[in-house]
Structure 1
């Protein structure tokens, strides 16, 4: 028998319901046992010693259920507390956006950045913490465990929020830049009627006669106050010289329509831009 004690009645009720469902689900696989509530703050788990070894069956099941319960009921609450009280973001909309980024980091959806990887195993981390401290024939105190045994997990969440805030701020800067560039091309007179952009691993500009534009031409059109690609050679810039040219139309040839630069061009030029597959360029101009 193992008893799990809670200070919060709602935690006791919710986990009791989940454990009951799991016990019923796995009863068909030979996990004999009964879950019962003792008052409003304690769950008693009785398992059948005769047939089942606690550490081979109920122990990993209970550790897994408790892990899922912490993530589903506590993680967002703790993340929001860190966002507001450690990093002082009090606007609810900003909090929600930072929380969304933090969740994506924890779920492994932002693995394009190497510094994100340590957060992907947080479920395993919590599981091992429960597994280490759950013993048979004893009472397990839930809230003290969260306070004293998951401190490293709390530090992990702080680091996660810090990265999420950096990503959020970068996204805000990007959105502001896109809006500024959109307003610029809408308000300025077009310098060129057509600019072709060919994306075949790198980006190349062509004028309306489909003549490749030289470095000197790009520098001639480039406006210093529109440059945001810092420490990048003009030949490797895309957005800044394209916006500086204020073309009336932009035709982009690419087989990667979801490329970040292409999406940015689309967001800035909107209906002025048309996207074609790369083979259309090769067939027409090669």
Structure 2
């Protein structure tokens, strides 16, 4: 017989139920006593193939989140639930390998291997132990390593917040600017080119004349003077954007600023539409 003790009854209950779910027959050797799980067996196979995987899964799914929320609130002072959830969402995508463009992060495989190594070395045979002490001391380095990913998620969150503020400011400016053209055609293949409703090319010197630079003097963000500043200054009632590169960052930004005013079409549509005018 051995025991697993817990500080919180909720942890004990959740892990107990998870063990029963993974191995329903274990109810004959398993019992729950508030903050303690008692196992009436020292069968190594049951221990390694049922209990240890359940503990590992619970650490991944529950205790990691608790630790992250504590770090966000007490170390980085993100105490609002909405902020925490947004950072958690970003962190989850990082840990799933969906943001591989973020530099200087440890390999995700190292993190998984570290947890597996600690679990295997500690749980070689059935012993009584404190679950919370195991997390605090045995997994100290593992959770410290997780903080690198938390900090990366916070940096990404800050960048996204700045981007949303940038888009919001330009959207507000757009709504208060009189439209200088009812219709504008913007083409992007290798560069951005402007055309009026007759599909006549608008040269750079004409774009400069449209721009009201005083609009952008008080903005805390850099406003691209080649594309965004002319676009917002012209404030067309309808914007047709032709491109095959819809994931280009500036293309996405234009869509976010112009919202329902913008229509994004494949690049070859420009030639088709222009030929109708010609």
Shorter-chain TM-score category? 0.7 to 0.9
* Native 8 Å contact 2:47 2:126 kept in 1: no
Q: Which residue of 2 aligns with 1:83?
A: 72
Deviations 1:183-224 (A, max 9, x none): 111111123333211233653333333234444444444535
Deviations 1:126-179 (A, max 9, x none): 233212211214223311110012122222332222222222222222112212
Distance 1:182 1:140 in 2: 58
Q: Which stretches of structure 1, 4 residues or longer, exceed 6 Å deviation after superposition?
A: none
Among 126, 130, 134, which residue is 1:141 paired with?
Answer: 130
Q: Does 2:31 align with 1:37?
A: yes
Deviations 1:54-74 (A, max 9, x none): 4xx742543322111012221
Q: Does 2:63 align with 1:69?
A: no
Matched residue pairs, number? Answer: 270
Q: Which residue of 2 aligns with 1:269?
A: 258
Q: Which residue of 1 aligns with 2:194?
A: 205
Q: Which residue of 2 aligns with 1:160?
A: 149
Using the TM superposition, name which of 177-186 and 123-132 deviates more: 123-132
Deviations 1:112-139 (A, max 9, x none): 4344563576444323321221121422
Q: Which residue of 2 aligns with 1:4?
A: 4
Using the TM superposition, name which of 173-182 and 199-208 deviates more: 199-208
Return the offset for 1:241.
Answer: 3.1
Distance change in 2, residues 1:5/1:227 (3 Å): closer
Return the offset for 1:96.
Answer: 2.7
Q: Which residue of 2 aligns with 1:13?
A: 13
* Native 8 Å contact 1:110 1:116 kept in 2: no
Distance 1:76 1:278 in 2: 45
Distance 1:45 1:132 in 2: 23
* Native 8 Å contact 2:187 2:242 kept in 1: yes
Structure 1: gaps (5+ residues): none
Structure 2: gaps (5+ residues): none
Q: How does 1:98-117 map to 2 (within 5 A)?
A: 98-115=87-104
> Tell me, what secondary structure is at the counterpart of 1:192?
coil
